[in-house]
DNA sequence: TTGCTCCTCACGTCACGTGAGGTGGC
DNA sequence: TTGCTCCTCACGTCACGTGAGGTGGC
């Protein structure tokens, strides 16, 4: 019979294995660690077998194996019930997700943009009104996370004084003012505040019903964010652009 | 007064924002999303303001901001209560952790090693007995995650037939057999089955009491894993090596 | 009447962490 | 007696997911 001169308490075992007493107790609760003998006062007396088992479990946890995939076999010890293949794929996917997050955070910090700025607009966001930012949020999302660069380019190309003029246009702006602003916006290039972008970037990004819902939502959002005069200007810009396109084609 | 011709149900809102109805309800529960008006039948009627708010929250969740750090201000919208600096550091640390995990998984798969093999032993583990693997587990952990290469080198240098001879040594092996095996092991190079490694790799890796506990644990583990004959051989190897060292020094 | 969508609780998940309340040896 | 360590429940965490049980319009 072996001597049993040395035994470890829960804390000692946890320290030796570089983990916590709560983790040890948790592994007992889910059956990954056998109950050790008790001292007269009820204290647990862990031995080498428990330390080895605990180290095996901890190592598997370290590489990301879910505890639910572990079984204990009397002779084989701890057995993993899943494929390392799948585990590696999950870890890989998670790394990719976090890499994107880190890159986005860095861009947001670098561009001094609001924390919720969508990807691709970090350097532009600080120049936008809250309303325009809200529209960008909606557009990028309704675009299905698709090509966001064309929208960013249009935004970057918009002259600041023109953006300011549009943003501050009163709901009761005169016919002349509206017409003038519309002409300036047509001359300045393509209009980004338009559901047109949705049609171009994802002609059929999802199911037809999803597309329809997205376009209807876009129209609703424009109607909510801008006042009647601004909406009128946007209408004129859109039909004006269409008119220009026609002229170009017939030329 | 604005027309209210269009409103979205919970599912429609969730679909537009690319999330789930449960997430939307959760944001209501923790006060991140205002309750919308209800239709006569009790159905929720979400509007543009809710969509914008939801998109802001989702974007912040995407980059990893904990929901507990979000507050809603009537005019400023969603406000982040933490530093992006800290967030970036946390994400960075998590990426590093997962990278190590991925790299370890790849090594384990490549070396066809058991899933719980400690880092650095992936290519050696398949040649070890369960008992030797258990010892490696304990040693790497008690070494405090320190320089594991010297141990791996000693293991790699051990001739397979010698390892086999030691592993299969019966508890009642004769004096002659034990002496012979000890000589062969001394000749083969430094002995890895020894608490000596602990002393060399971390002369003071933690507090003195932690060091003492680690060495005592190591001794206990050896006594549990190997039989009396094997332990006797290990003793002889250790004192023999000391003897050799002495001779070397006096020469 | 059947299916479909919506609603509101209440409880589950995952790997532990955090007290609460009590014991035992110095 | 005070401090310290150990013990066992029971409940908390985080961001939702999952039924259960009921309603309303076609």
Interface of B with A in 105-134 (CB under 8 A): 105-106, 108-109, 115-118, 130, 134
Which tens digit of pLDDT belongs to each residue from B65-123? 999 999 999 888 999 999 999 999 999 999 999 999 999 999 999 999 999 999 999 99
Q: Which residues contact B13 (CB under 8 A, 6 or more apart)?
A: B24, B46, B50, B51, B54
Helix (H), strand (E) at residue A182: helix A175-188
Q: Do B55 and A141 touch (CB under 8 A)?
A: yes
Tell me the pLDDT tens digit for each residue of B205-247: 566 778 888 989 999 999 999 999 999 999 999 988 766 666 6
DSSP H helices in chain B:
10-17, 21-29, 48-62, 84-110, 130-142, 149-157, 160-167, 175-188, 196-201, 208-225, 228-250
Residues of chain B contacting residue A2, judged by C-beta atoms under 8 Å apart: 224
The pLDDT of residue B1: 42
Whole-number Å distance between alpha carbons of A230 and A181? 10
Q: Is the pLDDT at A1 greater than 50, yes or no?
A: no
For A33, list phi and psi in degrees, rounded to 5: -135, 125
Which residue's CA lies closest to nucleotide C18 at its C1' atom? Answer: A22
Extract the tokens encoding A187.
Answer: 């001359």
Rounded to the nearest angstrom, the minimum Cα separation between B41 and chain A is: 23
What are A249's two structure tokens?
Answer: 């084609």
CA B206, distance to chain mean position in Å, is: 20
Pick from B102, B113, B148, B171 the residue to mutate for testing the A interface (most A CBs within 10 Å): B102
Nearest to B202 by CA among B243, B141, B244: B141
For residue B124, give Cα distances in angstroms to A25, A236, A239, B153, B203: 32, 74, 73, 10, 26
Using CA atoms, how far apart are residues B109 and B122, in angstroms rounded to an integer? 8
Could you tell me the pTM of the whole model? 0.91
Residue A105 to residue B87, Cβ atoms within 8 A: yes
Q: What is the pLDDT of residue B246?
A: 61
Tokens 């585990």 map to which residue? Answer: A87
**Under 8 Å between Cβ of A46 and A13:** yes
Residues A143-157 have pLDDT tens digits of 876 678 999 999 999
Residue B93 sits at the chain A interface (C-beta within 8 Å): no
Q: Which of residues 1-40 of A touch B (CB under 8 A)?
A: 2, 6, 8, 12, 15-18
Q: Write down the mean pLDDT value for chain B.
A: 91
């Amino acid at each position: 019979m072996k001597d049993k001169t040395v035994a470890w308490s829960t804390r000692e075992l946890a320290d030796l294995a570089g983990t916590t007493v709560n983790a040890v107790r948790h592994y007992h609760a889910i059956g990954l660690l056998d109950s050790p003998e008790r001292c007269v006062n009820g204290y647990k007396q862990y031995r080498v077998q428990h330390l080895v088992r605990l180290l095996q479990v901890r190592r598997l946890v370290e590489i990301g194996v879910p505890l639910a995939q572990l079984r204990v076999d009397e002779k084989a010890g701890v057995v993993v019930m899943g494929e390392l293949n799948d585990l590696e794929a999950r870890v890989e996917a998670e790394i990719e997700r976090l890499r994107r997050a880190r890159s986005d955070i860095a861009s947001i910090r670098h561009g001094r943009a609001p924390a919720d700025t969508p990807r691709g607009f970090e350097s532009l966001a600080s120049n936008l009104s809250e309303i325009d930012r809200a529209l960008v949020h909606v557009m990028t999302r309704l675009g299905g996370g698709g090509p966001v660069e064309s929208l960013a380019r249009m935004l970057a190309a918009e002259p600041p004084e023109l953006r300011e003029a549009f943003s501050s246009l009163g709901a009761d702006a005169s016919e002349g003012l509206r017409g003038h602003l519309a002409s300036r916006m047509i001359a300045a290039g393509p209009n980004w505040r338009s559901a047109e972008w949705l049609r171009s970037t994802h002609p059929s990004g999802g199911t037809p019903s999803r597309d329809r819902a997205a376009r209807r939502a876009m129209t609703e959002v424009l109607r909510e964010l801008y006042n009647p005069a601004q909406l009128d200007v946007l209408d004129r810009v859109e039909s004006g652009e269409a008119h220009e396109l026609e002229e170009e084609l017939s030329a």
